[in-house]
Structure 1
């Protein structure tokens, strides 16, 4: 019942717009700050790895292995991806353009930050983003998705119906 309401109700679309704008603003300001002030994730990544030891590690060993083996050697790339990813997720959510994709990449970053031992507002952002993801199209109804999604559906020429996998 709640799922149907959040995916179809005009009232839910209005509430989701407010949530979307708040989350989008949070992302866009974080990303803009990183881009304009310069951002280097190397120190953060090394700190996360350091928090993977001790009696009660804040970072799980499997995630620390990923950070040591992939993220730290490519800290420049990860710095770029985080800064621009945050900005683009924020723009997508504020404009309501490809809202579900923006929310997905935003929650992916939030989980990455949480896995790295940073709490801050990430848990709150995850919770709010879950509502956006569950709502799907309705979350961007009062945004550019109203125009973009029908266009995208037209491009695919009805080859896929909602809920159908695009992978065989």
Structure 2
């Protein structure tokens, strides 16, 4: 199964569809926040903190403590990170550029939203993202990763070999 996900060209096409779907979802969410009437994460953060109390809390205490002591005092930063993070993850996924990194960052946001008591489509997006992560380079094969990754690998390899030569000369 792993070999199929990582090497098969037909699977690369299916992964491209999944990747573009996820990217479109992230773009529309981020763009709506950026162009809407003043998205502010503080209301969401306060709501998540409120869900951490009662007989059956939806938010665990350790996460609520993080939200209350780190995220809420820095709500402006988190507002910026969510808006632009969603948009940039979406663009990267649609283009198939830095696909694995983009989907991992999207999954971090999905898990953060889940930890904050919001189910929505987060579970579905994590599941689809999991297939992209496991597929590795095959997920971006029909995207800009096809060109960017070999270039970066060559660039990185040259830099490493220069450092090795420099060390050997010493």
Interval of TM-score (by shorter of Structure 1 and Structure 2): over 0.9
Q: Deviations over 1:75-109 (max 9, x none)?
A: 00000000000000000000000000000000000
Q: Secondary structure of the equivalent of 1:23?
A: helix
> Distance between the aligned counterparts of 2:90 and 2:136, measured in 1?
17
2:163 alignment partner in structure 1: none
Distance 1:27 1:134 in 2: 20
1:39 Cα offset (Å): 1.0
What is the distance in 2 between the residues matched to 1:127 and 1:51? 25
Where does residue 39 of structure 1 map in the other structure? 39
1:110 maps to 2:110: yes
Whichever structure has more helix as a proportion of its residues is 2
Counterpart position of 1:81:
81
Distance 2:49 2:104 in 1: 25
| Aligned mates of 1:135, 1:88 — CA distance in 2 | 21
Aligned partners of 1:148 and 1:56: how far apart in 2? Answer: 48
Aligned counterparts of 1:7 and 1:56: Cα–Cα separation in 2: 41
Q: Secondary structure at the match of 2:157?
A: coil
With normalisation by structure 2, the TM-score equals: 0.91
Q: SS in structure 1 opposite 2:64?
A: helix
1:142 partner SS: coil
Displacement after TM superposition at 1:29 (Å): 0.3
State the alpha-carbon separation in 1 of the partners of residues 56 and 5 from structure 2: 39
Confirm or deny that 1:3 pairs with 2:2: yes
Distance 2:7 2:29 in 1: 31
Residue 14 of structure 2: SS of its match in structure 1? helix
**Aligned-partner Cα distance in 1 for 2:155–2:72:** 40
5+ residue gaps, structure 1, are 160-168
In structure 2, the partner of 1:23 is 22
Q: How many aligned positions are there?
A: 159
TM-score, normalised with respect to structure 1? 0.93
Structure 1: 4+ residue segments shifted above 3 A: none
Gaps of 5+ in 2: 161-170
What value does the CA root-mean-square deviation take over the aligned residues? Answer: 1.2
Give deviations 1:5-54, integer Å, cap 9, x for gaps: 10110011000000001000000000000001121000000000000011
Q: Paired residue for 1:120?
A: 120
